[in-house]
Amino acid sequence: MAVTEVKPGARLRSTVSEAEVVVVRGPQDAVQLRCGGAPMVALDAATEAAAAPGDDGSTLLGKRYVDETSSLELLCTKGGAGALTADGRVLTLKGAKPLPSSD
C-alpha cells in the first residue's frame, strides 16, 4: 500500500469506519496516520480493511485532534469508530481557547 501524504488541506478517510478528516496543520516529519489501527487513505482511494483488535475509541464530528510531538492537527469532517493515531501515539482532542474577559 502506498504511503498517504499528510499535508495541510489533505482529505483522508478511515478504511475501517466512516471517519473522515481534513489535515489542518501538517506534521514536521513524516508520520503514519491511522484510524482504528488501519492506515488512513485519501478520500477517493478504494480499499477495505478490518479494525485492529483492542483499538477502542471514536472520532467525533467537528472536533480537532492534535499530536504535540509532530505538530499534526486534524479536523474531523465525518465521525466514526476508531481512535486516531500518529506513529502509534493517540491524538488528543484540542481544547477550546479561553476567551478574553470583558471586565
Question: How sure is the predictor about 87, in pLDDT bands with cuts at 50, 70 and 90?
Answer: very high
**Of 43-47, 50-54, 70-74, which one has max mean pLDDT?**
70-74
Domain ranges within the chain, ordered by starting residue: 11-93
Contact status, residue 73 vs residue 63, Cβ threshold 8 Å? no
Taking 90 as the threshold, does the pLDDT of residue 46 lie above it? no
pTM beyond 0.75? yes
Contact status, residue 32 vs residue 87, Cβ threshold 8 Å? yes
Mean pLDDT value across residues 25-41? 90
Contact status, residue 56 vs residue 27, Cβ threshold 8 Å? no
Edge-to-edge order in the sheet of strand 72-78: 41-42, 11-13, 20-25, 72-78, 64-67, 92-93
